[in-house]
Structure 1
Amino acid sequence: MVQNKKVAFYTLGCKLNFSETSTIARNFQQDGFERVDFEEPADIYVINTCSVTDNADKQFKQIVKKALKINEKAFVAAVGCYAQLKPEELAAVDGVDLVLGATEKFKLTDYINDLSKNDRGEVHSCEIEDADFYVGSYSIGDRTRAFLKVQDGCDYKCTYCTIPLARGISRSDALENVLRNATEISAQGIKEIVLTGVNIGDYGKGEFGNKKHEHTFLELVQALDKVEGIERLRISSIEPNLLKNETIDFVAQSRTFVPHFHIPLQSGSNAILNKMKRRYIRELYAERVSKIRQVMPHACIGVDVIVGFPGETDEHFLETYYFLQELDISYLHVFTYSERDNTEAVEMPNVVANNVRSKRSKMLRGLSVKKRRAFYESQIGTSRTVLFESENKEGYIYGFTENYVKVKYPWNPELINTLHKVTLTHIDEDGAVRIQFLE
């Protein structure tokens, strides 16, 4: 049945989703399918969904349409967070044949025995309590970096978030599995690994709801630092209360971990952090930033922030704005609060009008542009190491320094996936930094 069958994938959402899509794709390839680009005709289109923003819901329908435009007889399967939260809704979308929940997505190939179209999507979802086992995964994207999943699920009960409903309890990969995956990745010539998960600072909680920490996050980074062949390791988003001083100190002197942290703040107002049920106050956040600056003055620090949360007054928003303005950080990821079914926040009074939400979002995005510019300016004249990426963008090759400054250089295919010592010379009009080679 599988002979010469083609499968294509589309991933919405986070790095974790990308790592899981890659793992599902490898399962298909092991079963004899040929993987093709989403823009090409395929027998099966797999869409890995996200539920974090409103847009992800709308995008799903457009992607299904796009797939069926390429091949109207194609079999369409939906997996991922939105598929777990609202399986019936996805199954009702025209042209969707199969919807798999959190426990089933890695068994997708088992469900595909007949590729004929269904009148309505067939749903195999689970109670999220059943998602208590761990499936390791990693993705290899543009040949220069890979996303390595080390943890899944979350035990936090933030009032705006559906991730615990979509992914279940916090659980981690065994340390030896993570190290094996890291070794496999480095054997493929990939220079940078980004550690990913839902709440990676919580790493160490075992499978099947075993809450005992087998290993801590610090032990994980210490062990990964010793893996041969990896040039760079990057920690993706990590909660401020779980980013311990010992980890910051270790990164500062490690062989492979780069000086780049992405730490969600969500609000600079303690009153709003409390309503969000976040597990820290702004003072702790400021301490973390100051600790990083103390041991790694040149580090890049990114921040997630949500605007327009129910009850966020102008005063609360300005607290956030001024807090971030004063903080020595490098860029912001700004999210406009969007209502999510089955969350506490959706029932909260004092809803912020949409036009106010977008105005606040615009203000913080403007602040982010200034912060990034100031950070890049602070790096001009310094020597850094750049890992070059694989795309030719209008005659230039781009890459990132260890501290996440985006650089550009006239296109030269020999630079792809190589590391070079450079001096940062000046900021170009597109915002990327020009360089001079040191060797």
Structure 2
Amino acid sequence: MNNNHFDKNGKTVAFLTLGCKVNSYETEAMQKLFEDEDYQVVDFDSKADVYVVNTCTVTNIADRKSRQMLHRARKLNENATVIAVGCYVQAAKDVLEQDDAIDIVIGNNKKNKIIDILKEYNQGKNIEDEAVIDLSIEAKYEPLMIESVTEKVRAYIKIQDGCNQFCSYCIIPYARGRVRSRDEESIMEEVQNLVTKGYKEIVLTGIHLTSYGIDLDERKESKLLALIVNLSTIEGLERIRLGSLEPRIITEDFAKTLAVNKKFCPHFHLSLQSGSDETLKRMNRKYSPKEYFEKCELLRKYFDNPAITTDVIVGFPGETEEEFNETKQFLAKVAFAQMHVFKYSKRNGTRAYSMPDQVKEEIKAERSNILIDLNAKMMEDYHSSFIGKSERILVEEIIEIDGKQYQIGHNERYVKLAINAEKSLINQIVTVNVIKDLTKEIMFCEIMD
């Protein structure tokens, strides 16, 4: 991340990002703002004049990690300006303002003002009012844009912020506010600029990606679908991926349209959380397991071997052994390509926080381990379906495994593939034949002539 062209005697800034890809995007955008002010970006472990920690509040662990990193920044340089930004700030602003390790707190929707706020702070002005974030219904999308990203070949593009769902376990709607969508012209411009600089793949991301455009147009057709179709017209852009989706966006038209789009990657991260109807109702999720399964079948109708991945929460308040077994059976029925398993974490301010029948930690851990083992089996089965097949890999990096160097990348379905090659093929799309598993997560391939 270091930028060696800066004057070594100039101002320095270090960033640390916690949480989701939206946070990563916003950090890249803030980095650009600092670079425009002639700051040199240094590693977070280095001594810097300014430290920016982009915080997360999705779990108690994320809260604790955010506090730890802010205090770590202060220890790295007692004279530095330590800035806390992001979701944990939004959720715990009053607490952080009393923390002597932190100089400035900036919640969501004012990160684009970070330079102005820092300048006022350096001038001795009272910036408290400046750092208060308006996340009311009337709040608008925060204008942020990137010109490059740390990742060499893939760019995450934030296209919306906020969430209107209010799942009973989730603090994020309170930390991010209501849905706010970015205008399509701005997205097209950013992607075009990144493609011009050599990026071949983009991933559209947001806090609640499925809701993109509902604040821009009340008509029922998917604004996200229209955006994907328009982005696919950009010459030089090879791949378009989507971040996490809600099942309701998968319609016949959505699947049918994307199935014929040669740039669209058939990797669908469909958020599930539970396979029990009763648990889903307590979670305030707006679908049933039956409806969810129908969406998966619809995807498999139009796409050849799509990667369907998901998130699952175990130990939600009131989750009985019977409900957990329903979830386990449902997961096996869907046969996911991969799952992310989380133990329920109480978040003060959510409805689930005070729900009766909170599940004991040891039961959460036991159920989590069961699903982690199931995930390993499903990943193995999905990977096996590629053996002997021709795949296209976008080469991303060179890594060492058991003393040997491999060039690593992903196919369209986000399976990680490895090849041997004498010269670097990074940022090139290569056709390969899948041979065998190299590790639990990586498959070995041979380059096809």
SS in 1 for 2:381: helix
Tell me which moved more, 30-39 or 366-375: 30-39
Q: Which residue of 1 aligns with 2:429?
A: 419
Specify the SS of the correspondent of 2:413.
Answer: coil
Match of residue 169, structure 1, among 163, 168, 178: 178
Q: CA deviation at 1:40?
A: 2.1
Report how far residue 4 of structure 1 moved: 1.2
2:378 counterpart (352, 358, 371): 371
- Say whether residues 1:244 and 2:222 are aligned partners: no
- 1:323 aligns with 330
Matches within 5 A, 1:43-58: 43-58=49-64
* Alpha-carbon distance in structure 2 between the residues aligned to 1:82 and 1:34: 26
In structure 2, runs of 5+ residues without a counterpart are 1-6
| SS of corresponding position for 1:158 | coil
Give the match's secondary structure for 1:340: coil
The amino acid of 1:49's aligned partner reads T
Structure-2 separation of matches of 1:283 and 1:213:
23
Match of 2:271, SS state, is strand
Partners of 2:93 and 2:398 in 1: CA distance: 37
CA contact (8 A) 2:70 2:84 kept: no
Q: Structure 1 pair 416/214, CA: closer, same or farther in 2 (3 Å)?
A: same
Residue aligning to 1:187: 196
RMSD: 2.3
1:341 aligns with 2:348: yes
Distance verdict in 2 for CA 1:214–1:100, change over 3 Å = farther
Partners of 1:98 and 1:53 lie apart in 2 by: 23
Q: Distance in 2 between matches of 1:173 and 1:35?
A: 27
- 1:101-140 correspondence runs (5 A): 101-113=107-119, 124-129=131-136, 132-134=139-141, 135-138=143-146, 140=149
User: 2: CA distance between counterparts of 1:419 and 1:239?
Assistant: 30
Contact 1:75 1:115 in 2 (8 A): no
- Once the two structures are superposed, the pairs formed by residues 25-174 of structure 1 within 5 Å of their partners are 25-113=31-119, 124-129=131-136, 132-134=139-141, 135-138=143-146, 140-174=149-183
Paired letter, 1:438 = M
Residue 184 of structure 2 aligns to which amino acid in structure 1? L
SS in 2 for 1:414: coil
**C-alpha displacement of 1:214:** 9.5
Any idea what the Cα deviations from partners look like across 1:144-203, whole Å, max 9, x if unmatched?
100001111111121111111111111211111111111011111011100000111111
Q: Give the drift of 1:217.
A: 1.6
- Match of 2:196, as an amino acid? A
Q: Distance in 1 between matches of 2:308 and 2:99?
A: 40
Question: For each residue in 1:380-426, what CA deviation from the matched residue of structure 2 results, as whole angstroms up to 9, or x when unmatched?
Answer: 11111001113433522211111111112246562111110001001
Q: What is the rounded CA distance, in whole Å, between the counterparts of 2:132 and 2:398 in structure 1?
A: 39
> For structure 1, which segment, 224-233 or 422-431, has the greater mean C-alpha deviation from structure 2 after superposition?
422-431
Which whole-Å CA distance do the structure 1 matches of 2:29 and 2:200 have between them?
Answer: 19
Q: Distance in 2 between the 1:125 and 1:313 partners?
A: 42
Q: 1:436 aligns with which of 416, 439, 446?
A: 446
Q: CA deviation at 1:122?
A: 5.7
Cα distance in 2 for partners of 1:75, 1:211 equals: 44
Residue 406 of structure 1, aligned match among 410, 413, 416: 416
| Residues 131 and 137 of structure 1: CA distance in aligned 2, closer, same or farther (over 3 Å) | farther
Deviations 1:314-344 (A, max 9, x none): 1001100010011132110111110111111
Shift of residue 131, structure 1, vs aligned partner: 6.7
Q: Distance in 2 between matches of 1:126 and 1:173?
A: 18
Structure 1 stretches of at least 4 aligned residues deviating more than 6 Å after TM superposition: 114-118, 212-215
Distance 1:78 1:413 in 2: 42
The alignment covers a number of residue pairs equal to: 435
The answer on whether the counterparts of 2:245 and 2:271 sit within 8 Å (CA) in structure 1 is yes
Deviations 1:49-73, CA, capped at 9 Å, x for gaps: 1111111111123212332343222
After TM superposition, give the deviation of residue 16 of structure 1 in Å.
0.7
Secondary structure of the 2:397 match is coil
Q: Counterpart in 1 of 2:297?
A: 290
Q: Distance in 1 between matches of 2:162 and 2:172?
A: 7
Q: Could you list the per-position Cα deviations for residues 55-95 of structure 1 after superposition, in whole angstroms to 9, with x for gaps in the alignment?
A: 11111232123323432221110111111111122233342
Deviation for aligned residue 1:39: 2.3
1:42 Cα deviation from its structure 2 partner = 1.3
Cα separation, partners in 2 of 1:195 and 1:114, compared to 1, 3 Å: same
Q: Residue 113 of structure 2 aligns to which amino acid in structure 1?
A: K
The one-letter amino acid of 2:156's match is F
CA distance in 1, matches of 2:318, 2:279: 8
1:73 partner amino acid:
N
Further displaced range: 280-289 or 99-108: 99-108
SS at 1:389's partner residue?
A: strand
For residues 183 and 226 of structure 1, the distance between their equivalents in structure 2, rounded to whole angstroms, comes to 10
Contact 2:66/2:88 (8 A) holds in 1: no
Partner deviation per Cα, 1:359-379 (whole Å, 9 max, x = no partner):
111111111111111000011
Query: Percent identity at matched positions?
Result: 36
8 Å CA contact 2:179, 2:211 repeated in 1: yes
Residue in 2 aligned with 1:256? 263
The amino acid of 1:408's aligned partner reads: A
Q: Normalised by the size of structure 2, how large is the TM-score? A: 0.91
Q: Is the 8 A contact 2:161 2:180 kept in 1?
A: yes
Deviation of 1:106 (Å): 1.6
Confirm or deny: 8 A CA contact 1:97 1:121 kept in the other structure: no
The question of whether the paired residues in 2 share the 8 Å contact of 1:390 and 1:397 is answered with yes
Tell me the amino acid that sits aligned with residue 251 of structure 2: K
Looking at structure 2, the residues matched to 276 and 430 of structure 1 have their Cα atoms a distance apart, in angstroms, of 32
* Counterpart for residue 358 of structure 1: 365
Aligned-partner residue type, residue 162 of structure 2 = G
